[in-house]
Structure formats: C-alpha cells, structure tokens
Amino acid sequence: MHAATNSTTGAVGENIATKRKALGWTQSKLAHKAGVSLSLLTKIEVGDRVCTPPTAAAIADALGEPLQVLYGQPIADAAPLDQIQALRAAIRRYDQPSATDPEPEQLAADVAVACQLRADTRYRELLELLPGLIERATVHAHRQGNDDPGAWMKLIEVYGCAYTLVGRLGYPDLAELVAARQRWAATRTWSPVGLAVAEWGEAGAFQAAGDYAGGLAVVEGAISRLQLNPERDGLSALVAAGSLHLRGVVMASRARDKNATEDHTRHAQRLAAYLPPGQDQLLHNLTFGAANTQLHELAAWVDLEKPKKAVEMSEAINRVGELPGLTPTRLGHFHIDSARAHIAAGDREAALQAVNRAREVAPQMARLHPMSREVLRVLVSLHRRSNPQLTTLAKWAGLAR
C-alpha cells in the first residue's frame, strides 16, 4: 500500500525557508509581513526555536500557504492512502446510504469501541474501523429518521472520532468536511447538546487552519445558543458547555487575547465545580472537568508566551502524580504542552523527558503531533553532543539527525 506524500519535509523551519525563497522574499520581508521579529524567524528557520501555533499561523498567512504545508503534513508514513480514500468515500456518501440497516446493539457496541480507540490514540485501528462504521451509522440514522434522535447522536459521535483522526493525520480539508457532516447530523437531533458538540468540532476546524479569531467567534456563538443552566440541565449539557469554554481557552490564547483566555478559563473552572470532585467526564468524545481545565490553562500560558507559569503548573501536576478521568489523548497533550513550556523556558532535558512521556502514554499521537515534532526538531538542532535518548526519539519520529 502506498502512503500519502507531500513536497515538504516535516521540518517547519526548512519548509518556511523553502516557501519564502520561492517567493523571492528576504527574511526581513517575511518577518514584517507576518508580524514577528527577524530574530525569531531566523531561529525558527535554522531550527533553534519552536514555531508555536500562533507564530506558524501568522507566517502561513503571510506566505499564503495552508498551515499544514508548514507542518509538513500529512506525514508520509502516517496512514495508508487507500484507507484514507475509503474514509473519504464514506464521509462523502452521507446522503446515499446503501447498506443493510445494522443491528442497533452491535452498532452501539462498535461506536463505543471507536470512541475508546480515539481516546486511547490508537489511530491505525480506528482508521481500519471507521469507513464501514460511518456507513452503518449513517444508514441507521436515515432509517430511523426523526423518530430516534439518539441514532443521529451516535452518528455525531462517529464523526467526532473521524474528526480527531483526520486532524491528527494531517488532513485539515477532510476535517472541515467531517465538521460540516457533524453539524448536518446535529440538525436532525433537535438537541442543543448535539448542536454544541458539532460546533465544538467546527471551531476545531478553524483552529487547525490557524483562524483563531474565527474559531473563537464560533465558540462564543455556540455557548450563547446552548444557554446552559448548570442547576437545571443535565450532565451532557454541562460537559458540552465546559468543553466549548476549553476550546475558547485555546482559541483566545492563540489569538493572544489574554482577557478572553482568562474569561473562558474562569467559566470552565466554575462549571467544573458542578461535577463530582476528582473525576473528569467523557461524553460524546468531549472530556471536561477540573483536570482537563488545568491542562488547557497550562497550554494557554505557553501560547501567551508565559512559559514559566506553564512550567510551574506542569511541575505541580507531576508532583501530585494523578490526573483522574483523563484518557491517553488528554495525557499526551499534557506532556506535549509541558515539553513546549520547558523548551521555551530553556530546560532542554525536561523538554526531552516530557516528549518521552508523551510517547509512552500516547505513542501514535506523540509521533504525529506538530508540537511534539517541533520540540524534537529544536532539541536535535540545539544538541551538539550525542544524546542516545534524543537520537532514538528523533529516529522514531522520522526526523533526521
């Protein structure tokens, strides 16, 4: 089977330099157009500084390139191309169900398996399962029609698994299509929660494109439409609203809007207090609670260029040693964001250990995530002496040393 290929290397600095030179631009011209310092751009291009999401988005916009081109996505050996094509076909045929109506109990069990694979970051197995599962869930929802909103919620959950998968594999165009399918399915549920889940995914498509202001507008509109009353509404609504606020934390911090970041963080903390203490909740592929709120706050400090605050949070969390209720996908994000914080604060060894922990808890995610690859790329560039652990990680990630 043949894997997807592209013309970039996966080394962000090299990709930026290649695209800049193709336009005939100097580093000074690109730095001016992107609104970044010449010193920072120079260090990113030679591999001595991590290109953070806000900086990458600004540079991509200045170059007129999609963000994933700078990240070198999709990575050549991330997934077999024939399986990606099968997934595209299943998503494309949302209004042409042709399979036999599946047995509801088996379908529900298979959806649960897919959600667990997503949470465990077992992307290869999830990719094998999803094309057929999307087709069966689509058929079932169409056959049930308006009589069973739950059938459409199951389809929303399956699309949620697909959204995470294609985003991580580096296919943002397909992620946008999945988000649109989620929203279409949500209109069939007549459920405010279903719509909120879909809008969470829609905002994520803005995030993947580097359009953080646009994504923040989607989040704030979704929160307004949901009109949560935590004293009255159920757990699903609470998790959806809390997750939207966490998405808002990401969007606002990457848009460098400190006030909006703090506002969404406060709202998330307030809602998390309504949940049972010490246990985050996972519903409809959304994880919400006090622990995940902490992790989003940590990541926000990195994107707001306050890495020392993020390091303090990371070290405090590691001292406690527990993040109850969090799945491997969330723990992987924690260690990757910790790595970003440590390298920004100048602690290369701690950054390396954090990437290694991400690999241990969520290996497929850690290998593909642009920020874990960025940290490794910079560590490789900065280390002038042999480091066996770094060499092993760099080879595992497919980064040349």
pLDDT at 4 over 70: no
**Cβ proximity of 278 and 286 under 8 Å:** no
Task: Pick the closest to residue 118 from 360, 289, 365 (CA basis).
Answer: 365
Q: What are phi and psi of 26, to 5 degrees?
A: -80, 165
pLDDT at 137 over 60: yes
What mean pLDDT do residues 303-314 have? 96
Encode 177-202: b = buried (16+ Cβ within 10 Å), e = exposed: bbbbbbbbbbebbebbbbbbbbbbbb
Q: What is the DSSP string of 97-115?
A: --SPPPPHHHHHHHHHHHH
The residues pairing with 282 across neighbouring beta strands, listed in sequence order, are 287
Average pLDDT over the chain, rounded to an integer: 91
Nearest 10 degrees: Cα torsion 4, 9, 10, 13: -160
- 384: pLDDT confidence band, cut at 50, 70 and 90? low
In one-letter notation, the amino acid at residue 233 is D
Answer yes or no: pTM beyond 0.85.
yes
C-alpha 181/C-alpha 187 separation (Å) is: 10
Task: Pick the closest to residue 339 from 354, 325, 328 (CA basis).
Answer: 354
pLDDT at 216 over 80: yes
Query: Candidates 2.30.30.110, 3.40.470.10, 3.40.640.10, 1.10.260.40; correct CATH number of 1-72?
Result: 1.10.260.40
pLDDT at 349 over 60: yes
**Cβ proximity of 371 and 336 under 8 Å:** yes
In one-letter notation, the amino acid at residue 297 is E
pLDDT tens column, 78-124: 889 999 999 999 999 888 666 677 788 999 999 999 999 999 999 99
Q: What is the DSSP string of 282-338?
A: EETTEEESHHHHHHHHHHHHHHTT-HHHHHHHHHHHHHH---TT--HHHHHHHHHHH
What mean pLDDT do residues 380-401 have? 80
pLDDT tens column, 5-45: 344 455 899 999 999 999 999 999 999 999 999 999 999 99
What is the per-residue pLDDT for 97?
64
- 2: pLDDT confidence band, cut at 50, 70 and 90? very low
pLDDT at 308 over 80: yes
Provide the 8-state DSSP code for 146.
Answer: G
What mean pLDDT do residues 54-73 have? 92
The residues pairing with 200 across neighbouring beta strands, listed in sequence order, are none
pLDDT at 265 over 70: yes
**Cβ proximity of 18 and 30 under 8 Å:** no
Q: What are phi and psi of 283, to 5 degrees?
A: -140, 135
C-alpha distance from residue 230 to each of 61, 200, 240, 241, 270 (Å):
39, 19, 11, 9, 10
- 325: pLDDT confidence band, cut at 50, 70 and 90? confident
